[in-house]
Structure 1
Amino acid sequence: MASSAVLLLILMVVAATVHGHTHTPGGTPAALFWEAALPDSPMPESIAHLVQKGTDHSPLQQHHSAAMILPNACLGYSYRIICNSPAQQASSVEGLFFRESDMRVGRTMTVALPAFDPAPFLPRKAAERIPFGNLADALYRFGITPGSQEAARVGETLSACREAPLAGSRKACATSLEGVVLSATRMLATSRPLVAAASALPNSGLPRRTYTVQAIKPLGGGGGGYVACHSRAYPYAVYECHMMEGSSEEAYVVSIRGGSGLPTVDMAAVCHFDTSNWIPAHPAFKILGTHPGGSPVCHFLPYADLMFGVKMADNA
């Protein structure tokens, strides 16, 4: 089923390219691929920015630091890592996590996400020519000093990508936007069309304040499984995608507003109903007052992270 879905996707992309779909952001191959693979989901501005940035300012010619200390370090596939520093464990990610009961129209929650400018996407052909997985080769190719903090971040990303999936889950690392979409397609293994969502916040983040929930929409109409893809520290865009089998997760687009006269922000969010495999020291438990296997843990997706789902309803 998975291989059939991927083959169908590739045929759709070829057909779209032949028929000259050129109104995607920048008309890049990655944008054309996205349009053909996800016709019901316009490419998020954050992703379009990273695609264009990788075309205009290639990481192969310009150095992009991999020494990132970000909230998505707390959203790792295995949920066995904590964060990048003890001080970050609760204070700087407090505005990322929330309770499922907070996700009601009219309810308020404190939200804050820091500024984040992730590495740009390499064109797929360039990414496929670069060996991925060898730390020494990566440090040499991108001029990173061995033993530096940046080298440590690159090593952590390579280790995370080599890590075996947990029981009842699927995972993959992708080094191009096309690879991200294909990874989600393989994991979801369905003939139904896919939809995608990303948080529509700017890369300057969201200021800490009280936000009111304006609307909630299940991704794809609800059900069908979800794949979350998080950007990782590397000189060019590397995404770690993961999926829990069964019904232990639900994904949403949650519209929030920080006050009268302020714009509404559409945020991609996911709720985890089974946290029994998470480490007890994970900061979400301290922030929300729960524990592994306790009440659901929900969180927003940081800038340029992606969530994929199956389109289950015509109006989704």
Structure 2
Amino acid sequence: MDHLLPLLSILVVAAGVTHAGSPSELYWRSVLPDTPMPNAIADLIKHSTDVGELALGHPVTKAMATSAKLRSCFFLENDLHDGAKFTLHFTGTGSRPSLLTRQEADSIPFTTTKLPEILARFSIEPGSHDANAIETTLEECEEPAGYRQIKKCATSLESMLDFTTSALRTRDIDTVSTRVGKEDSPEQQYNVVGVRQVTDSSDWAVCHVQPYAYAVFYCHTKGRTKAYMVSMVGEDGTKAEALAVCHDYAYESNPKILAFRGFQAKQGTGNVCHFQPQDTIAWIPKSYARLQ
């Protein structure tokens, strides 16, 4: 029996490694042990490419990271209620990006001044569509934050957790995101069957996946905005739990929101809302959230 002990020890260690999870999963558990990991992140971890070849300078992804799309409409907050109807098109992300660990991400330049080096590292042709997308993402990440806003482009899950917990000044956080019953549901009319407000506080943050050679999240705090989770059923029976964000644009000066103001001027007064795609994650302090 004694001769089996070394073998049993090896099996126990192997089992521990198997269930320990990736470095990103372990960091999540250490920072947010009481917060379930959202599907948007768990899915990225599940489909991430082996990045052991990073040291050789080879590409770590087979395809560019692209965010999920949502063909949606703007609407006023007063129009968000049971029985409301919206024509929406939820799409998947297609090829999922690799989610790098902090150590891996920090070893790669992330600045417009190093664009040629970045493109060469990932074998992306300068001037191509992918190269232009990478340059645009870098430029947006380098833009200064808006008025009373904190922002960061997180190149790893560890970096995203550090940003959100620091910006919100707590680790007692819930996450919410859009969930759809089908990976790529057709454009159709959805009927609202339930609405619940998840925050009316300015102390919350949101992270969006950006087009890049690996997973990059554009994260920023929200000011004078509300968030709702909206239960809907499509004409074909597809069920969706959609994250809706409503903005008070009377207090914002960003020229990018002029289109929203134009919509507001045509439709009347009130906060302007829109739905978020499936890979957008809202981070809400539990002390403010009204999650049911």
Give the TM-score range, shorter chain: 0.7 to 0.9
**Are residue 125 (structure 1) and residue 125 (structure 2) matched?**
no
2:272 aligns with 297
- The answer to whether residue 228 in structure 2 is matched with residue 252 in structure 1 is yes
Q: Where do 4+ consecutive residues of structure 1 move more than 6 Å?
A: 20-23
3-state SS of 2:134 partner: helix
Question: C-alpha distance in 2, partners of 1:250/1:314?
Answer: 11
Find the aligned partners of 1:150 and 1:294 in 2 and give their Cα distance.
Answer: 40
Aligned to 2:63: 64
* Number of corresponding residues: 266
Aligned-pair identity (%):
31
Residues 313 and 157 of structure 1: is their aligned pair in 2 closer, same or farther, counting only changes over 3 Å? closer
Check 1:216–1:57 CA distance in 2 against 1; reply closer, same or farther (3 A cut).
farther
1:5: which partner in 2? none
- Between structure 1 and structure 2, the one with the greater Rg is 2
What value does the CA root-mean-square deviation take over the aligned residues?
3.2
CA contact 2:98–2:215 (8 Å) conserved in 1: yes
The reply on whether 1:277 has 2:276 as its aligned counterpart is no
Distance 1:104 1:40, change over 3 A: farther
Q: Give the TM-score, by structure 2 length.
A: 0.78
Counterparts of 1:85-164 in structure 2 under 5 Å? 93=71, 95-117=72-94, 118-133=96-111, 134-164=114-144
Amino acid paired to 2:164? A
Bigger drift between 296-305 and 171-180 goes to: 296-305
Aligned-partner Cα distance in 2 for 1:281–1:184: 24
Per mean C-alpha deviation after superposition, the further-off stretch among 112-121 and 171-180 is 112-121
Assess if the C-alpha contact under 8 Å between 1:213 and 1:255 holds in 2: yes
Answer yes or no: is the 8 Å Cα contact 1:226–1:250 preserved in 2.
no
Q: Which runs of 5+ in 1 are unaligned?
A: 1-19, 72-91
TM-score with structure 1 length normalisation? 0.73
Shift of 1:106: 2.5
User: Partner of 2:190: helix, strand, or coil?
Assistant: strand
CA distance in 2, matches of 1:203, 1:283: 31
* Residue of structure 2 in register with 1:262 after alignment: 237
8 A contact 2:49–2:61 mirrored in 1: no
Which range moves more in the overlay, 38-47 or 300-309?
A: 38-47
Q: Paired residue for 1:223?
A: 201
Structure 1's 307 and 235: CA in aligned 2 closer, same or farther, altered over 3 A? same
User: 1:208 and 2:190 equivalent?
Assistant: no
2:98 and 2:214 in contact (8 A); partners too: yes
